Amino acid sequence: MIVRDGEANRSFPPEVAVQVVKLTCELPSLHGLPIAQWDCTELARTLVESGSTAAISADTVRRILLSHELRPWRVHAWLSPQVPRDQAFATTVQAICDLYTRPLASNETVICVDEKTSLQPRPRCAPSLAAEAGKPVRVEHGYKRAGALHLFAALDTRSGQVIGRTEPRKRAQEFIAFLNQLDMQLSPSLTTIHLVVDNLSVHKSKAVKAWLELHPRFRFHFPPVHCSWLNQVEQWFSILQRKLLRHPNFADLATLALALQDFVTRWNRYARPFNWTTASVTKVMAKCQLPSGL
Kindly report the CATH number assigned to the domain that includes residue 147. Answer: 3.30.420.10
118 and 180, same domain (yes or no): yes
Under 8 Å between Cβ of 114 and 198: yes
30 and 93, same domain (yes or no): no
Within a domain: 61: yes
CA distance 180 to 30: 55
Q: Do strands 218-221 and 162-167 pair parallel, antiparallel, or not at all (unpaired)? A: unpaired
178-237 per-position pLDDT tens digit: 999 999 999 999 999 999 999 999 999 999 999 999 999 999 999 988 888 899 999 999
Nearest to 190 by CA among 201, 198, 182: 182
Within a domain: 245: yes
Within a domain: 58: yes
Within a domain: 91: yes
91 and 205, same domain (yes or no): yes
Residue 28's pLDDT is what?
93
Within a domain: 190: yes
236 and 106, same domain (yes or no): yes
Under 8 Å between Cβ of 230 and 95: no
151 and 254, same domain (yes or no): yes
Within a domain: 234: yes
Q: Does pLDDT of 286 surpass 50?
A: yes
User: How is residue 223 annotated by DSSP?
Assistant: P
121 and 241, same domain (yes or no): yes
For 32, residues 6+ apart whose C-beta sits below 8 A from its C-beta are: none
Under 8 Å between Cβ of 110 and 196: yes
Q: For the chain, what percentages of helix, strand and coil (3-state, to nearest 5) are there? A: 40, 15, 45
Question: What is the span of the domain harbouring residue 94?
Answer: 87-127+139-286
How many structural domains comprise the chain? 2
Residue 290's pLDDT is what?
53
4-34 per-position pLDDT tens digit: 444 444 566 788 889 999 999 999 999 999 9
CA distance 75 to 189: 49
CA distance 8 to 203: 59
CA distance 81 to 69: 27
Residue 252: how many other CB atoms lie within 10 Å: 12
Q: Does pLDDT of 281 surpass 90?
A: no
Q: Does pLDDT of 86 surpass 80?
A: no
Strand runs labelled E in 75-176: 108-119, 149-156, 162-167
229 and 105, same domain (yes or no): yes
278 and 235, same domain (yes or no): yes
For 203, residues 6+ apart whose C-beta sits below 8 A from its C-beta are: 175, 197, 220, 222
Within a domain: 75: no
CA distance 290 to 294: 7
98 and 37, same domain (yes or no): no
Within a domain: 199: yes
Where among 22, 39, 67 does a domain terminate? 67
155 and 9, same domain (yes or no): no
48 and 160, same domain (yes or no): no
97-145 per-position pLDDT tens digit: 999 999 999 999 999 999 999 999 998 888 888 888 988 888 888 888 9
Longest dimension (CA), the chain: 78
Instruction: Give Cα 18 distance to the centre of its chain.
Output: 37
Provide the whole-model pTM: 0.78
27-49 per-position pLDDT tens digit: 999 999 999 999 999 999 999 99
201 and 111, same domain (yes or no): yes
